[in-house]
Amino acid sequence: MFSTQIHLVSRPQGAVSQDNFSTVEVRLPELRADEVRVRNEFISVDPYMRGRMNEGKSYIEPFKLNQVMDGGAVGRVMESTAEELPVGTLVQHMLGWRDVAQGPAKAFRAISEVSDSIPSSLYLGLLGMPGITAYTGLTRVGTLQEGDNVFVSGAAGAVGTAVGQFARLLGANKVYGSAGGPEKCQLLTRKYGFDEAIDYKAAPIRQQTNEIIGDDGADLYYDNVGGDHLEAAIDVLARFGRIVSCGVISQMNNDGTPQHGPDNMSNFVTQSLRMQGFTVGEHLTQVSSEFQQTAGQWFADGKLEYDETVVDGLDHAVEALQGLFESQNIGKMVVRI
């Protein structure tokens, strides 16, 4: 049997292009003891992947050239020599951009399915890493308190939509979100329960946050964007406000040109602000069980909504990644194999 894979063959300068990737067919060996072969159903496309295409020191090693793009995927076991993962088991793994994955059983995690009626892709989104990231940022890093006003940037994405809903369920007073375009903004208020949605394409984000959030102030800012959004949030944070730095998607495709930082950093002193970055891997052991129990119950009770942007075909994975940085997604971006 062959596995079709997407390999990174060169490191992008600025935005990614098809030329940075190649499609490779690899013949799979026979299974050895305690191994499984999995037919992927969905693969994940995430902002952090762009950062891993660069060389240099980071919290995770860069992708290696001429090797498969690893990352989140979900699929079903098609062959197995591992007793704990029989044929038909739904599993999640990090072997990434390929149609068939094979390896030791320890590289795959069996999923306890919440319901037979939900797509397996949800375990890459709301009930997977983006959901855990949202929950961790709010509860562990941002120490959300009941009655807080919360501002979320990139609010129509996989993490952002989860942050907004979780914040409300955890007792937030008001939830504000930024997104690009009227369609996404309407989605935030009508489907996801945000009190106000700010269209950053309609006018400068800093001007709008001061007009919409300024009087009430925000106690917690969950940052998925960085850049001008961070500067805008610093303007409206209340005394003792907290910033959760989760992502900087506005800078991921930067070609190396230096960018100016916020011009209002004095607010950190005058308002006693706090900012902390995090990666979810640092908290997985402590938070995974709590998240699965809490979010699973919310989902079972019908308290959670979700959207997905589904791109069909492994051969369109690079287009999906490009679309992610062009704000073409609503909710989680996945590729259906």
pLDDT above 90 (res 248) = no
What pLDDT score does 241 carry?
98
Mean pLDDT of the chain: 93
pTM: 0.84
**Residue extents of the structural domains in the chain:** 2-125+306-336, 129-280
Predicted confidence at residue 266, as pLDDT, reads 96
* CA pair distance 312, 23, nearest whole angstrom: 16
What's the gap between Cα 190 and its chain centre? Answer: 22
Residue 337 has pLDDT above 70, yes or no: yes
- Residue 252: the pLDDT is 58
How many CB atoms neighbour CB 290 within 10 A? 14
User: CA-to-CA distance for 103 and 82, rounded, in angstroms?
Assistant: 11
* Fold of the domain built from segment(s) 129-280: Rossmann fold (3.40.50)
At 284, is the pLDDT very low, low, confident or very high (cuts 50, 70, 90)?
A: confident
**149 has a pLDDT exceeding 80:** yes
Structure tokens of 206?
């800093």
Q: How far apart are CA 251 and CA 63, in angstroms?
A: 19
CA 182 to chain centre: 22
In this predicted structure, the answer to whether residue 272 has a pLDDT above a threshold of 80 is: yes
Q: Is residue 26 exposed (0-12), middle (13-18) or buried (19+ Cβ within 10 Å)?
A: middle
- The answer regarding whether domain 2-125+306-336 maps to CATH 3.90.180.10 reads yes
Residue 101 to residue 5: CA distance in whole angstroms: 9
